[in-house]
Amino acid sequence: MNNNWKKLIVALDLDKRSEIEKAIDIFAPKGVKFKIGSIAFTKFGPDFVKGLIDQGIDIFLDLKLYDIPNTMARTSSVIAELGCWAFTVHLYSGREALGAVKEAVAKTAEKMKKARPLILGVSVLTSSEATKSEIHDLVRQADYVGLEGVISSANDVKEIKKDFPKLKVITPGIRNPLDQKGDQKRIATASIAFANGADYIVVGRPIIEKNDYLKAAEEIIRG
């Protein structure tokens, strides 16, 4: 279980700063990473994110960019300037936009002398159904452009790793059998995700909707 803390990304889908701080105090010393998505980013903004990064916390900025190539590239440069550990783009945005993002991130990181954030492509949201070939075609774009990884359901990890071994796979939709599914459709336990080869799991509500975040996270990563 100890090793699995380093493969856990807690989704800070919270709009109360005190709850975000509580999660960080509990999990940061264990080497856990944190995902800031549209809820916390819209509420607290980039200065808040920068403050966390400056404390040495690994932030995965999950804004799921999906726009024209110029807008995606320029937004990605700003994200690289912030110094995030990783961020997401929609693979549906296509090769031209994804290539522009890759180039913009490399240039900005070099200019700022910062580590390049990992660019992670969202295939199909785990709250939607998807066919294997739909996922394969999208992930192939990520591999072709040279993104570092993709976000995919635990059930697709094995095939992605077989067909595209260079890509990291990050898996949301993690639930224990007694957890509420919520809006997620393609779910699995953490142990299934890891057994299938997931590099990281992303977990939000099964942890942040409980009072005891630590106990909830222990139950999740024990699977």
* 13 lies in the site for ligand C5P, by CB under 6 A: yes
* 37 lies in the site for ligand C5P, by CB under 6 A: yes
* CA-based torsion, 191, 193, 197, 203: positive or negative: negative
Q: Which residue is nearest to ligand C5P (CB)?
A: 204
Could you say which of 202, 216, 217, 220 contacts ligand C5P (CB under 6 A)? 202
CB of 63 to ligand C5P, least distance (A): 10
* CA-based torsion, 8, 95, 114, 53: positive or negative: negative
Interface segment toward ligand C5P; rule CB under 6 A; list 65-73, 77-85, 118-126, 161-169: 118-126
CB of 174 to ligand C5P, least distance (A): 6
**By C-beta, is 90 or 102 nearer to ligand C5P?**
90
Give exposure, 153-174, as e/b (b: 16+ Cβ within 10 Å). bbbbbebbbeebeebbbbbbbb
Could you say which of 69, 149, 204, 223 contacts ligand C5P (CB under 6 A)? 204
Could you say which of 205, 216, 220, 223 contacts ligand C5P (CB under 6 A)? 205
Residue spans of beta strands (DSSP E) within the chain: 8-11, 33-37, 59-65, 86-90, 118-122, 149-151, 168-171, 200-203
* CA-based torsion, 113, 6, 46, 169: positive or negative: positive
Query: Which residues are tagged catalytic?
Result: 64
Could you say which of 65, 72, 80, 125 contacts ligand C5P (CB under 6 A)? 125
CB of 187 to ligand C5P, least distance (A): 8
Task: Concatenate the DSSP letters of all residues of 144-201 into one string.
Answer: HHT-SEEE--GGGHHHHHHH-TTSEEEE--B--TTS--TT--S-B-HHHHHHTT-SEE
* 149 lies in the site for ligand C5P, by CB under 6 A: no
Residues engaged in binding ligand C5P (CB under 6 A)? 11, 13, 37, 62, 122, 125-126, 151, 172-173, 182, 184, 202-206
